[in-house]
Structure 1
Amino acid sequence: MESRRWPIVHILGILNMNRTLSPLTAARLKSVSLVICIALLLSGCSSSSDSSAGGSTSEASGLQQVSLQLNWFPEAEHGGYYAADVHGYFADEGLEVTLLPGGPNVPVVQSVAAGRAAFAVTNADRVLFGHQAGAEVVALFAPIQNTPRCIMVHRESGISKLADLRDVTLAIGTGPAFFQYMQKHLPLTGVETIAYPGSIGPFLANKRFAQQAYIFSEPYVAKQQGADPVALMVSEIGYNPYASVLVASRKTLDTQSDLAQRIVRASARGWQKYLDDPAETNALIDSINPDMDAGALAFGAEQIRPLCDREAPSAPLGQMTAARWQTLIDQMVEIELVDADKVSAARVFDDRFIATTTTSP
């Protein structure tokens, strides 16, 4: 069942992505899109109506069916959630979890707030934007403690930290919060910003070119193409939202706290397994994402591991603190993306389901 559903959902999502696909992949996906749409209509789309209630119980497996909406196509940043499926941790909790790949046009937070998905994966700043817009979801578990966002530059540029970013062309997407924070806190002398091209082609052609990136993605591709990239982590200037955060609606927490406890517990086991031994999980992701190869996933897992380190080694995996959330709120207020009277640290997260002890990665 799962082996049929994964490719269908992934291919539908990937048709809307704004990252560059190989011509062969794009042609193959477009040619089968109509068939895939029909297949989806015939096989399980009806489950969305049950998502806000935690889903129905499968007659075949006896497991409670639950949807988990991802914020992007399957990559290493989702590794722990896939590991919970691959290694049976969701099943151990009586759950049959369908992980739904996302993409640039998938309204992740809104889907959970509206009950179209029981749970989702997003980043902490997106949780705040949801509250600002009235879509109140609650963060339950934050495996990636330090943002993977970075600015990628050439080593030949001599730039080794964000404070020294100058005299380059910087390709950046429209309206990312981290860049607005950079503009507020860095001189950016001689930096010319242009629209993010969706590929590393311009980067490869110009040593004075810089671009937005994720530490586990674009630097790997650039290295494979012969470049010597340096990743300047956005967190070094203090902008550091939690990433790959598991969220749910407040209704789910109020009416099905046991379900929330079980999915957090299974996800924590999955993330610990992925950090310890990602190979089997990466093999699954490789099989369902045609743009991820084994090398890229191995690189991604290696890069993500230190991002999951907690401030205190004894702290549980996925921990969150009110202080971190308040810092992020203050930063969003400073750059005028949220209003202080609409977003409260006390309402954006709930850490009661996080285990009190977790083996450190």
Structure 2
Amino acid sequence: MKSTLARTFLAAACGLACAAGAQAQEKVTYMTNWYAQAEHGGFYQAVATGIYKKYGLDVTIKMGGPQVNIFQMLGAGQADCVMGSSDLQIMVQRSNGLPVVTLAASFQKDPQVLIAHEEVKKFEDMKGKTILIATTARQGYWLWLKNKYGFDDSQTKPYTFNIQPFVADKNTVQQGYLTSEPFAVQKAGVKANTFLFADHGWPSYSTTISCMEQTVKDRPKAMEAFVRGTMEGWKSFLADPAPAAALIKKDNPNMTDEQMAYSVAKLKEMGIVTGGGAAKNGIGSIDPERTKANYAFLVDNKLIDPAKVKVGDAYRLDYINGLKVMP
């Protein structure tokens, strides 16, 4: 009888503990910079496999998109953290008055590319050709391309996220993401070459975890757990993307298995997540010297006011340095 009572008591105690654990899950909302895709895989994987829950978090991923200003959403309290396209972008936002800080960078290499028809063998061959770029690029990588390769503003026309103008005109070059537009161009039957900026000196980190400064101050444990869970999510995703893929396709029904497989293969092949500093310091790591180079680029091109933002203000590297989730 005592044994029965003991088992009953233990079962009740376990039930209460489990209920308390469930209630203790802290909510975190993360907003991506585009529709759900493989490039967001680590975040979705950490949800799908329970990694975030393991660290006491109940994470909601909100999709961004071409008409969504994620920084307005962040400032309005609609998200706890957002996916910066680059760490340079975050410093610009901070210079503009939004107190946002970067905790980690999932991508060691920015996947930004230019795509050209097959006769173009190098960046220098693009001089005189029409280059389709988004408006936002004029305040970022376009300045780098101009400085490095002598391109001119007169070459550019707006990129509308439609590959047809490129397909129809061999004198046209267009921007793209390593894991996305080259696949669409390939499917259209066009022979093209892809030029990854990161392999030619573009220093930007990408796919950041960037949060309001006050959030980091008020919720340090949650932010620490979110960073750790995300990096473990990326490691898990690259080993087996299936759990994340199911959630990604649920959020974005237009995502195909073929596109997903192509994107994952490119992430692996080019070391987007696992290359660079990740090989030595772990996934998500940020090199302070590289942040200084990015800061200098922004100051030199008058994209930020050095009186309003210092390089050390834009990062909190204590959340990722020493974590060392190794590839």
Question: Could you state the TM-score of these two structures normalised by the residue count of structure 2?
Answer: 0.86
1:352 aligns to what SS in structure 2? helix
Query: If you compute each CA radius of gyration, which structure gives the higher value, 1 or 2?
Result: 2
8 Å CA contact 1:110, 1:135 repeated in 2: no
2:319 aligns to what SS in structure 1? coil
Q: Which of 281, 292, 295 in structure 2 is aligned with 1:315?
A: 281
What residue in structure 2 maps to residue 210 of structure 1? Answer: 173
Shift of the alpha carbon at 1:114? 4.0
Shift of the alpha carbon at 1:340? 2.0
What residue in structure 1 maps to residue 148 of structure 2? Answer: 185
Shift of the alpha carbon at 1:355? 6.2
Q: Which runs of no fewer than 5 residues in structure 1 stay unpaired?
A: 1-57
Q: Which of 46, 51, 60 in structure 2 is aligned with 1:98?
A: 60
Shift of the alpha carbon at 1:74? 0.6
What residue in structure 2 maps to residue 79 of structure 1? Answer: 41
8 Å CA contact 1:163, 1:186 repeated in 2: yes
Mean CA deviation greater in 187-196 or 314-323: 187-196
What residue in structure 1 maps to residue 218 of structure 2? Answer: 255
Q: Distance in 2 between matches of 1:318 and 1:190?
A: 34
Mean CA deviation greater in 336-345 or 218-227: 336-345
* 2:69 counterpart of 1:107: yes
8 Å CA contact 2:203, 2:293 repeated in 1: no
Q: Distance in 2 between matches of 1:154 and 1:224?
A: 14
Q: Which of 136, 143, 147 in structure 1 is aligned with 2:106?
A: 143
8 Å CA contact 1:65, 1:97 repeated in 2: yes
Shift of the alpha carbon at 1:345? 1.5
Shift of the alpha carbon at 1:60? 11
Q: CA 1:190–1:100 in structure 2 vs 1: closer, same or farther (change >3 Å)?
A: closer
Shift of the alpha carbon at 1:215? 0.4
What amino acid is the match of 1:331? F
What residue in structure 2 maps to residue 172 of structure 1? Answer: 133
Mean CA deviation greater in 218-227 or 278-287: 278-287
Aligned 1:226-265 pairs, distance under 5 A: 226-265=189-228
Aligned 1:1-361 pairs, distance under 5 A: 61-62=22-23, 63-122=25-84, 123-155=86-118, 157=119, 159-176=120-137, 177-188=140-151, 192-305=155-268, 306-308=271-273, 309-311=275-277, 313-354=279-320, 356=322, 358=324, 360-361=326-327
Shift of the alpha carbon at 1:326? 1.2
Q: Distance in 2 between matches of 1:151 and 1:299?
A: 18
8 Å CA contact 1:325, 1:345 repeated in 2: yes
Q: CA 1:113–1:189 in structure 2 vs 1: closer, same or farther (change >3 Å)?
A: closer
8 Å CA contact 2:281, 2:321 repeated in 1: no
What amino acid is the match of 2:248? I
Shift of the alpha carbon at 1:304? 1.8
What amino acid is the match of 1:328? N
Q: Distance in 2 between matches of 1:240 and 1:82?
A: 26
8 Å CA contact 1:165, 1:189 repeated in 2: no
2:83 aligns to what SS in structure 1? strand
8 Å CA contact 1:314, 1:357 repeated in 2: no
Q: CA 1:197–1:357 in structure 2 vs 1: closer, same or farther (change >3 Å)?
A: closer
Q: Distance in 2 between matches of 1:354 and 1:60?
A: 26
What amino acid is the match of 2:272? L
Q: Distance in 2 between matches of 1:237 and 1:163?
A: 12
Q: Distance in 2 between matches of 1:314 and 1:181?
A: 27
Q: Which runs of no fewer than 5 residues in structure 2 stay unpaired?
A: 1-18
What amino acid is the match of 1:109? F
Q: CA 1:118–1:359 in structure 2 vs 1: closer, same or farther (change >3 Å)?
A: closer
Q: Distance in 2 between matches of 1:114 and 1:137?
A: 12
Q: CA 1:112–1:191 in structure 2 vs 1: closer, same or farther (change >3 Å)?
A: closer
Q: CA 1:359–1:99 in structure 2 vs 1: closer, same or farther (change >3 Å)?
A: closer
Q: How many residues align?
A: 302
Shift of the alpha carbon at 1:187? 2.0
What amino acid is the match of 1:85? V
What amino acid is the match of 2:50? G
1:246 aligns to what SS in structure 2? strand
Q: Distance in 2 between matches of 1:154 and 1:191?
A: 20
2:102 aligns to what SS in structure 1? strand
Identity, in percent, stands at 26
Q: CA 1:360–1:105 in structure 2 vs 1: closer, same or farther (change >3 Å)?
A: same
Shift of the alpha carbon at 1:86? 0.6
What amino acid is the match of 1:68? Y
What amino acid is the match of 2:129? V
1:330 aligns to what SS in structure 2? helix
8 Å CA contact 2:278, 2:285 repeated in 1: no
What amino acid is the match of 1:320? I
